[in-house]
Amino acid sequence: MGYINESVIYNIYPLGFCGAPKENDFKQEYRLDKIYGWIDHMKSMSVNALVFNPVFESSKHGYDTIDYKKIDCRLGDNESFKKICKTLHDNGIRIMLDGVFNHVGRDFFAFKDVRQNRENSRYASWFENLNFRNNSPYNDGFSYEGWAGYYDLVKLNLHNDEVVNYLLDCARFWIDEFDIDGLRLDAADCIDIEFFKKLKNVCKEKKSDFWLYGEITHGDYNHWANPDVLDSVTNYECYKGIYSSHNDHNYFEIAHSLNRQFANGGIYRNIYTYNFVDNHDVNRVASMLKDKNHLNNVYTMMYTMPGVPSIYYGSEFGIEGMRTAYSDYELRPCLDLDSIPNPNYELLEHIKKLGVVRLALEALKYGDFENINIQNEKLVYRRKTDNQTVFVAFNLTDRVERIGFDTGCNAKLTDVLNGNEVIDVNGYYEIEMQPYQSRILVVNDGSFKVDFNADNKECKAVEAPANEETPAETENCCENSSDNAENTTKEIKPGIYLHFKGGEYEVINFATHSETGEKLVIYRNLHNTSEVWARPVEMFAEKVDVDGKETDRFTFIG
């Protein structure tokens, strides 16, 4: 499937990111060189692919292209951008550009010629619906088609072979000049499919793993993403479902979309979708959420659902931004790492963990999808390959909850998102969920954990050292000897215990499982005494790994 399965994407709108003038003053500046100061930040999030929105010369916002072969002078020049691309590649970060092939700006050379020479212009056939008996809002003395009614965006005629060949030559130039690895195709739903087929052939001839994805806001994704056309599309259906299911406390919404798209028989199982929760066209997700406590779960969902996750610059800090009736500029701010407005560092650390986890787990990158337990405010789904099974669980409430699901095995679950906590399971299991918590649970024999090393240069799963005893068979890894259970019971006494995540619980009694003979601890939540639970004594007494440090799961405090 190419490099995209092994990717975490970062998306930058360069003109906004760099604080460039909103209208091109045509003064040579090298504002995009500021990207050098962000490379370590991106790598700290395990980012290994970067999407640049428009970088080529334009009059205003980048989508009104003047010259497809010239870097916008507000950002730099071709040589400076070539150096940027090389440095990104040297740091293991692939590069995708925004291919704006549906329309150009009014200062594009061919349209300027039409404005000057009218019917006699050799480029009169380059544009859609030119009519020299009408007029335009710019009083050109002729009319033409503008994208979505915006007359500063002049629609190209992609049925004209000369136009097609010109654009294909530009794509070749970008690959040869800047060594790019992929393209975002702007306004893909407006573009002739035959053009995309030709573009794909040209790009794949240059680089076999070149990745093309289209901006699609509605419709059947299979129309654009298939072996003959594009590799992928923007997943706007799940973008909306992710934030609104949290706002409405209705996980059935996103679960329905995920099932419709990716489960067995799902209509998009063969598409590795481009997943996002905000971008340069839509409101920042931190502004869309009614409860900012849901941000962590939103990103966990985006990183663990099928497809590739993408972060829009600054949103890893939880910054806000809303579009207005007249402008998108609030969505495209100039940002400096040392002065992020109201940064949410807890969210940033969560996203850093998600990046490591995603790249470490085969099931998240390649696995099948299945919903396991859907409730309004709780959700469990499974990602699975032949070699690995991962359960992802969510609690969007403000209280401790439990959610049950059939693990399908006698094994252990390692919560790689929360300190590599190891949980013994035997078929059906009810897992405890802290308020607003998500869990990423890997089925294994107890030896599995994800290594969150300091510099994030390696993102990997590790097994226990060879000299540690591990069960020979996963199916047997939950079996405990009765002697060990009895010895553990002697170490636990009634009283108050502090859970390693901060909750306080009271041990009120002990019990024996009627079917297995396993010894159980009976305890209750002191903050909600109606919640009474049972847990195997060995599990209650065991130590867990929290950020590389071993600590007691429960500590006696009185």
The structural domains of the chain, with segments of one domain joined by +, span 1-102+162-231, 104-157, 480-558
Contact between 69 and 114 under an 8 Å Cβ cutoff? The reply is no
Q: What pLDDT is attached to residue 264?
A: 96
- Closest by CA to 500, choosing from 461, 546, 450, 431, is 546
pLDDT higher than 60, residue 480: no
- DSSP string for residues in 452-474: --TT-S--EEE---TTS---SSG
324 vs 311, which has greater pLDDT?
A: 311
Q: What pLDDT is attached to residue 510?
A: 84
Q: What pLDDT is attached to residue 22?
A: 96
pTM to 2 decimals?
0.83
Q: What pLDDT is attached to residue 455?
A: 46
Class of domain 1-102+162-231: alpha beta
Q: What pLDDT is attached to residue 529?
A: 66
Q: Maximum CA pair distance of the chain? A: 97
The least confident of 97-101, 175-179, 488-492 is 488-492
In this structure, CATH architecture of domain 104-157 = Alpha-Beta Complex (3.90)
pLDDT higher than 50, residue 84: yes
Q: What is the average per-residue pLDDT within 464-468?
A: 38
310 vs 469, which has greater pLDDT?
A: 310
Residues 328-364 pLDDT 10s? 999 999 999 999 999 999 999 999 999 999 999 999 9
Q: What is the average per-residue pLDDT within 283-299?
A: 98
CATH code for residues 480-558? 2.30.30.320
Residues 193-224 pLDDT 10s? 999 999 999 999 999 999 999 999 999 999 99
Q: What pLDDT is attached to residue 294?
A: 98
Residues 495-518 pLDDT 10s? 888 888 778 888 888 888 776 777
Q: What is the mean pLDDT of the chain?
A: 91
557 vs 163, which has greater pLDDT?
A: 163
Beta 103-105 vs 504-512: how paired, if at all? unpaired
For 265, phi and psi rounded to 5 degrees? 90, 0
pLDDT higher than 60, residue 27: yes
pLDDT higher than 90, residue 151: yes
The least confident of 87-101, 420-434, 505-519 is 505-519
For residues 113 and 110, give the distance between their C-alpha atoms in angstroms, rounded to a whole number. 5
Q: What is the average per-residue pLDDT within 297-324?
A: 97
Q: What is the average per-residue pLDDT within 41-55?
A: 98
Q: What is the average per-residue pLDDT within 128-153?
A: 96
Q: What pLDDT is attached to residue 325?
A: 85
Angle at which helices 161-178 and 193-206 pack, to 10 degrees? 30
Q: 481: burial class by Cβ within 10 Å (0-12, 13-18, 19+)?
A: exposed
Three-state SS at 394: strand
Q: What pLDDT is attached to residue 519?
A: 83
For residues 397 and 528, give the distance between their C-alpha atoms in angstroms, rounded to a whole number. 15
| Three-point CA angle 238, 243, 244, nearest 5° | 95
pLDDT higher than 60, residue 432: yes
Q: What pLDDT is attached to residue 538?
A: 82
pLDDT higher than 80, residue 528: no
Q: What pLDDT is attached to residue 487?
A: 44
Residues 220-247 pLDDT 10s? 999 999 999 999 999 999 999 999 999 9
pLDDT higher than 70, residue 476: no
Q: Token pair 């990111």 is at which residue?
A: 17
423 vs 408, which has greater pLDDT?
A: 423
Q: What pLDDT is attached to residue 478?
A: 37
Token duo for residue 534: 């049972």
How many C-beta atoms lie closer than 10 Å to residue 443's C-beta?
A: 21
pLDDT higher than 90, residue 164: yes
